[in-house]
Structure 1
């Protein structure tokens, strides 16, 4: 698995929540119900988290517009 410092805007979705930066280690994927996207991410100390985004534009075929990628619904430690 990549380390936090190896992840950037070219290979990761980067979000900041409550002053903490998280960088995804995988592309966000659609959840089983189709209402959310999920991705595993790291903080600066390489702690793992699961980030969840709500689908806000279910009718779009462009995944870049499906969610508010800068504002996840949940960041949960793994």
Structure 2
């Protein structure tokens, strides 16, 4: 999988499926989660585990964004992200 394709796939998952702020239907907010895409891509390239990705997503939502977070959703998204490079 090339870098740009993975980047776009991760970006899409974060905006369309994770979306802890609930802004995925706002065109002007389509770059809201872009700051988190590259770190996740780096984790995937480094061979990090689902748990590592989950911890990062949960940290972003709860500590960085100061939201309540959704542990179940964070885990589902972490698993989906983990398998992206393996399925394309």
TM bin (shorter chain): under 0.3
| Higher strand proportion (structure 1 or 2) | 1
TM-score by length of 1: 0.28
TM-score using structure 2 length: 0.26
The structure in which a higher percent of residues are helix is 2
Higher RCO structure, 1 or 2 (CA under 8 Å, sep 6+) = 2
